[in-house]
Chain A
Amino acid sequence: MDLNNTPEDIAYRKQVRTWLEQNLPRDEIRTLDDRRRWHRKLHEAGFLGMGWPKEYGGAGARPMEQAIVADEMARVNAPAPTNGLGLGIVGPTIVVHGTEQQKKRYLPKILSAEELWCQLYSEPNAGSDLASLKTSAVEAGDHFVVNGQKIWTSSGAVADWGLLLARTDTKVAKHKGISCFLMRMRQPGVDVRPLKQITGSSEFCEVFMTNARVEQADLIGRLGEGWAIAQTTLGYERGGRALARITSYASQYHRLIAAARRLKRHGRALIDDPVVRQKLGRIWADLEVERYQALRTLTQLERGEHPGASGSLTKLSYSEFEKRFNELALEILGPYGQLTDGAPDEFKLEIDTAVGDRGTWAYSYLWSRAGTIYAGSSEIQKNVIGERILGLPKETRADRAGASR
């Protein structure tokens, strides 16, 4: 056990820091085109798809190097690249499960942001029970015909392509009849409607597919392997950004401390109130424990081990932490924390949100409710931990045997 950084990692961090000092956009990113330009700069520097093989435009970098880039970006509050799902989910899925042709066709354009991607998994009646999804893909010669409805599709409004889970066999058990496809979003049979969330913004969409077309060549893996593939892609959502997100929260924490020096209760600054101090002490401990855990995950990744079910522990712990952090922030900030506009500078939160807006404490608070629902709710994570790590008996379920409908 040695938590010191190696000289190579220290040197690499310095190199990334220098690059960011020289290249960080001076002006605020307002449009998708602005973000694409920034994205391409990051790509040219070799900071995107870092873990992907070099022959498809990746950098073949170690997990630690990826973590350093993300962490340094968080340190200076650098804007995120675009195509988050392409980089985070779709690309890695194609790297692991795609054919040579698919890798050559799709990976470079994900990296260059020439093609933006979304993920078509959840359905109105298939949330936690994702395997009960009903969207169908029926083989018709050289292509499949897709019908159904997807929901909670992030980046759906701007996506050119989607990673789709659809049912290709209704006669087998529900987990076995699902296949995974790459689907063109800009075609007549695909209708995308933004979904307005409690944040007031629309990071997500609903997608309606009516006789939409998917090519045979765009099937990922074999027919019926979609569920297994989806299980691995959910894992990709955890990992490389583990350190960076803690760094972001640490800088938010220091803004919160600054606010607590100015705000008062009974004539006394909040920072001098023992109750507030206890809460600030607890949340910093929680935040640091998440950082220590990120170091453990990175150690695993560096050794080439896949975190597997232990990723559920990370996800559960981190997403629940985010809710507690944001609850405390709004408790300390009072009504300032609820402002979406008009806040004095010292009570503003200046972070870059998923969609590229300048975030507010209010937005961050509301958004933190999503983390314990998406990519497997906390309850689902606890089931996974119970069954796969602790080896507890499976619950009796009505849907284990038999065909899906």
Chain B
Amino acid sequence: MNFSFTDDQVLLRNSVRSALDEHCKPAHVRAMMDDAKGYGEALWAEMAKLGWLGLPFPEEQGGAGLGLVELAIVLEELGRAAYPGPYVSSVVLGGLGLMLAGSSAQKEKWLSAIAAGQARASAALLEDSLDWSPASTAATATRSGDGWALTGVKRFVPWAHVADVILVPARSPEGLSLFLVDPRAPGVALKAMVGIDLANRWSEMRLDGARVAADAVLGQPGGAGPTLDALLRRAAVCASAEMLGAARRCLDMSVDYVKVREQFGQPIGSFQAIRHRCAEMLMEAENAHAAVYYAAWALTAGAEDAPVATSICKSYVSDAARKVCGDSIQVHGGIGFTWEYDLHLYMKRAKALEPLYGDAEFHRELIVRHVAA
């Protein structure tokens, strides 16, 4: 039993951090907030070169064949930098989705392209009801010629406007099915949904009899339920890792600030009211770390408690990140409330991820179903 990073994992974290410190400074994040596409091609190409875009993919598809612990390490750093771009949508939602259920032809086509930085992917997991249970999917797929026609409305599809392929769940006569959809195809309409985290992008995706070919089904028609459950778990842990990184950044900025900010003739960090709050923030961040990496390990290792560990992770970290980021604004006082100061970049990243892939209440219900079964 060893709950600490290996030398390679520490090396990975350090190299990701130093690359982001150089290429993803707050100025870059702010520039992308105003950018039409919302992410920088140069950094994307750098990420491909560094092997981050294929990190969990098999080596034969240009990947590094690493597990979720390594992926979580990268995502924690991306959260720490409030990275603006389609990393999670491409590598986690699209990439892991393809890995879970794709045919060898589908994997061959897409994983290599994603890993090389030539294609971007996403998944359309939410509809109007905001129910993350795949069973709630209302979009439909009907046979049309050799292929299928998809109809329905998807919400909060991340980075759909730059995606080359989107995984879309829909009900076919066989049951819940998963399709690969080209967002630029006829019958597909995207409309931006602008949230508080401007370094993140969402779209509404309307499918109006959108045609896809027979080979666009991911896995068997009617067999998407388990794939979506598995994908949701991975996405929940990855989002938690990103929230953890954002919270760590807020904590670091707070600690630096309260050491130098003086009121009443002393650094405010010497006051117990401030110090105790910072200590609680660290405790929450450390607990969140344990929850993220335990779940990441459990999913990779196929541990028996992986599903419940996932729900523990997402529910705990959603609450912890909100508290840490919120408290960081409180200890900063007025400056933390200004647009100019960078704190809100990280606070908003954590907030945007909080409801995704099941909020804390969604996952607490799953915990009880597991434990009290």
A284 CB, min distance to chain B CBs, angstroms = 5
Residues of B within 8 A of A158 (CB): none
Find out whether the CB atom of B315 lies under 8 angstroms from the CB atom of A282: yes
Contacts A277-B364, A282-B364; is A64 near B255 (CB within 8 Å)? no
Which residues 295-322 of B sit at the A interface, judged by CB distance below 8 A? 297-298, 301, 303, 308-309, 311-312, 315-316
Find out whether the CB atom of A396 lies under 8 angstroms from the CB atom of B279: no
B322 CB, min distance to chain A CBs, angstroms = 14
Interface size on A, residues (CB 8 A): 50
Central interface residue in B1, B5, B69, B286, by most chain A CB within 10 Å: B1
Find out whether the CB atom of B371 lies under 8 angstroms from the CB atom of A289: no
Cβ 8 A contact of A285, one of B3, B255, B293, B364: B364
Find out whether the CB atom of B1 lies under 8 angstroms from the CB atom of A5: yes
Find out whether the CB atom of A280 lies under 8 angstroms from the CB atom of B279: no
Contacts A280-B372, A296-B290; is A1 near B5 (CB within 8 Å)? yes
Find out whether the CB atom of A379 lies under 8 angstroms from the CB atom of B276: yes
Q: Nearest residue in A to B286 (C-beta to C-beta)? A: A313
Complex CA gap A129/B272 in Å reads 15
Q: Can you list, as one digit per residue, whether each of A171-215 has a CB less than 8 Å from chain B (1) or not (0)?
A: 000000000000000000000000000000000000000000000
Q: Can you list, as one digit per residue, whether each of A277-315 has a CB less than 8 Å from chain B (1) or not (0)?
A: 110111011101100110110111011000000100100
Cβ 8 A contact of B371, one of A257, A286, A391, A396: A257
Question: Is A132 interfacial (CB 8 A cutoff)?
Answer: no
Find out whether the CB atom of B364 lies under 8 angstroms from the CB atom of A394: no
A180 CB, min distance to chain B CBs, angstroms = 28
Contacts A284-B367, A285-B367, A392-B278; is A257 near B269 (CB within 8 Å)? no
Q: Can you list, as one digit per residue, whether each of A385-400 has a CB less than 8 Å from chain B (1) or not (0)?
A: 1110111111110000
Question: Is A381 interfacial (CB 8 A cutoff)?
Answer: yes
Q: Would you call the interface of chain B mostly helix, strand, loop, or mixed?
A: helix
A296 CB, min distance to chain B CBs, angstroms = 5
Residues of B within 8 A of A381 (CB): 279
Question: Is A3 interfacial (CB 8 A cutoff)?
Answer: yes
Find out whether the CB atom of A390 lies under 8 angstroms from the CB atom of B278: yes
Find out whether the CB atom of A3 lies under 8 angstroms from the CB atom of B294: yes
Question: Is A238 interfacial (CB 8 A cutoff)?
Answer: no
Cβ 8 A contact of B368, one of A277, A295, A313, A391: A277
Question: Is B136 interfacial (CB 8 A cutoff)?
Answer: no
Question: Is B271 interfacial (CB 8 A cutoff)?
Answer: yes
Cβ 8 A contact of A1, one of B69, B308, B311: B69
Question: Is A255 interfacial (CB 8 A cutoff)?
Answer: no
Residues of B within 8 A of A1 (CB): 2-6, 9, 69, 293, 297
Find out whether the CB atom of A281 lies under 8 angstroms from the CB atom of B6: no
Question: Is A229 interfacial (CB 8 A cutoff)?
Answer: no
Find out whether the CB atom of A284 lies under 8 angstroms from the CB atom of B312: yes
Cβ 8 A contact of B283, one of A3, A288, A317, A383: A317
Question: Is B109 interfacial (CB 8 A cutoff)?
Answer: no
Find out whether the CB atom of B279 lies under 8 angstroms from the CB atom of A299: no
Which residues 365-391 of A sit at the B interface, judged by CB distance below 8 A? 379, 381-383, 385-387, 389-391
Contacts A1-B297, A299-B3, A392-B269; is A284 near B368 (CB within 8 Å)? yes
Residues of A within 8 A of B316 (CB): 285-286, 289
Central interface residue in A6, A253, A292, by most chain B CB within 10 Å: A292
Complex CA gap A394/B278 in Å reads 14
Question: Is A110 interfacial (CB 8 A cutoff)?
Answer: no
Find out whether the CB atom of B1 lies under 8 angstroms from the CB atom of A6: yes
Q: Can you list, as one digit per residue, whether each of B344-373 has a CB less than 8 Å from chain A (1) or not (0)?
A: 000000000000000001011111100110
Cβ 8 A contact of A383, one of B9, B258, B272, B311: B272
Complex CA gap A271/B369 in Å reads 10
Residues of A within 8 A of B311 (CB): 281, 285
Find out whether the CB atom of B364 lies under 8 angstroms from the CB atom of A281: yes
Residues of A within 8 A of B272 (CB): 379, 382-383, 395
Find out whether the CB atom of A385 lies under 8 angstroms from the CB atom of B283: yes
Question: Is A101 interfacial (CB 8 A cutoff)?
Answer: no
Interface size on B, residues (CB 8 A): 50
Question: Is B291 interfacial (CB 8 A cutoff)?
Answer: yes
Find out whether the CB atom of A392 lies under 8 angstroms from the CB atom of B259: yes
Residues of A within 8 A of B364 (CB): 277-278, 281-282, 285
Q: Can you list, as one digit per residue, whether each of B261-289 has a CB less than 8 Å from chain A (1) or not (0)?
A: 00000110111101110111011001100
Residues of B within 8 A of A277 (CB): 364-365, 368
Find out whether the CB atom of B1 lies under 8 angstroms from the CB atom of A293: no
Question: Is A9 interfacial (CB 8 A cutoff)?
Answer: yes
Residues of A within 8 A of B266 (CB): 393, 396
Q: Can you list, as one digit per residue, whether each of B240-266 has a CB less than 8 Å from chain A (1) or not (0)?
A: 000000000000000100110000001
Find out whether the CB atom of A392 lies under 8 angstroms from the CB atom of B294: no
B73 CB, min distance to chain A CBs, angstroms = 10
Cβ 8 A contact of B312, one of A5, A288, A390: A288
Residues of B within 8 A of A4 (CB): 1, 301
Residues of B within 8 A of A157 (CB): none
Q: Nearest residue in B to A312 (C-beta to C-beta)? A: B279
Residues of A within 8 A of B69 (CB): 1
Cβ 8 A contact of A3, one of B2, B9, B367: B2
Q: Nearest residue in B to A290 (C-beta to C-beta)? A: B287
Central interface residue in B286, B291, B363, by most chain A CB within 10 Å: B286
Find out whether the CB atom of A395 lies under 8 angstroms from the CB atom of B271: yes
Residues of B within 8 A of A310 (CB): 286
Residues of B within 8 A of A27 (CB): none
Residues of A within 8 A of B1 (CB): 2-6, 9, 64, 295, 298-299, 302
Contacts A1-B293, A1-B297, A394-B270; is A289 near B367 (CB within 8 Å)? no
Find out whether the CB atom of A386 lies under 8 angstroms from the CB atom of B269: yes
Residues of A within 8 A of B301 (CB): 2-4
Find out whether the CB atom of B312 lies under 8 angstroms from the CB atom of A317: no
Q: Nearest residue in A to B360 (C-beta to C-beta)? A: A282
8 shortest interchain CB distances as A-B pairs: A281-B364, A386-B275, A292-B290, A382-B279, A385-B279, A392-B269, A281-B367, A382-B276
Known: A257-B372, A289-B290, A295-B1. 9 other contacts (CB 8 A): A3-B298, A281-B365, A281-B368, A282-B364, A285-B367, A289-B291, A300-B4, A390-B279, A392-B255
Sampled A-B contacts (25; CB under 8 Å) = A1-B9, A1-B297, A3-B301, A4-B1, A6-B1, A9-B1, A64-B1, A257-B372, A277-B364, A278-B364, A285-B291, A285-B316, A286-B316, A288-B294, A289-B316, A295-B294, A299-B4, A382-B272, A382-B275, A382-B279, A383-B272, A386-B269, A389-B282, A390-B282, A393-B270
Which residues of A are at the interface with B, using a C-beta cutoff of 8 A? 1-6, 9, 64, 253, 257, 271, 274, 277-278, 280-282, 284-286, 288-289, 292-293, 295-296, 298-300, 302-303, 310, 313, 316-317, 379, 381-383, 385-387, 389-396
